Amino acid sequence: MFYFDYTFWLLIPALLFAIYAQSKVKSTFHRFSRVSSSSGLTAAEAVAEILRYSPAAVVHIDRVPGHLTDHYDPRKKVLRLSDSVFNSTSIAALGVAAHEAGHAIQHAQRYPFLVMRNAFYPIASFGSNLAFPLFFIGLIFGGGTTILMDIGILLFSAAVLFTVITLPVEFDASRKALAILKERGFLNAAELHGARVVLSAAAMTYVASTAIAAIQLLRMILIRGSRD
């Protein structure tokens, strides 16, 4: 069966890396969430200041439930900060909040990779939802034809490409965040190092997701090739 095929071992290193990345981002955030910034600003206050003097000044700031559920919604131009970040004055909270502000600035400046990712999202979402069902049907009931498997691979390729496009978007948002935190004096040199550690750990989760998606695609291609 597909779940126990000979290609499964290819996923193991990527899955271990993903587990490590998730553990790293949680432990790193927890570590630096206990260290308050010298500026005394909450994450929400810092973001408001960042956006006030940026091209993304019209963005609204909301609070959302959860832990590390922070995100920027480009459709509604809303930056949402989680319960664990919104009112926190910690180095970790300011780093995460500034990262999301970086996405808002990207949107306002029409950062090419963000524009590409937003435009590609519907295709990637459609492909991700249909790829495996079609591939499974083609694998089990395809008989002498592999057309459904080929369509599944093509659709999943779009999802993989989306994860690849996401990487420069996330890296650039973190770069912008650290630059702004330094320029505005929200964090001093030592605190800035802590924020960089937090954002670097978060970036690892995106790298891990891309690695898993790419290996899944490779598995599909190898299984498809074994049917010839």
Q: Which residues are catalytic?
A: 100
Distance CA 177, CA 101 (A): 7
140 exposure class (CB count in 10 Å sphere: 0-12, 13-18, 19+): exposed
Length of the chain: 228
Q: Taking a C-beta distance cutoff of 8 angstroms, is the pair 149, 142 a contact?
A: yes
DSSP state of 71: E
Among 82, 155, 81, residue whose Cα is nearest residue 122: 155
d(CA 204, CA 170): 10
- Angle (CA) 98 160 123, round 5°: 90
Encoding tokens for residue 46?
A: 């810092």
Q: What is the DSSP string of 11-39?
A: HHHHHHHHHHHHHHHHHHHHHHTTSB-TT
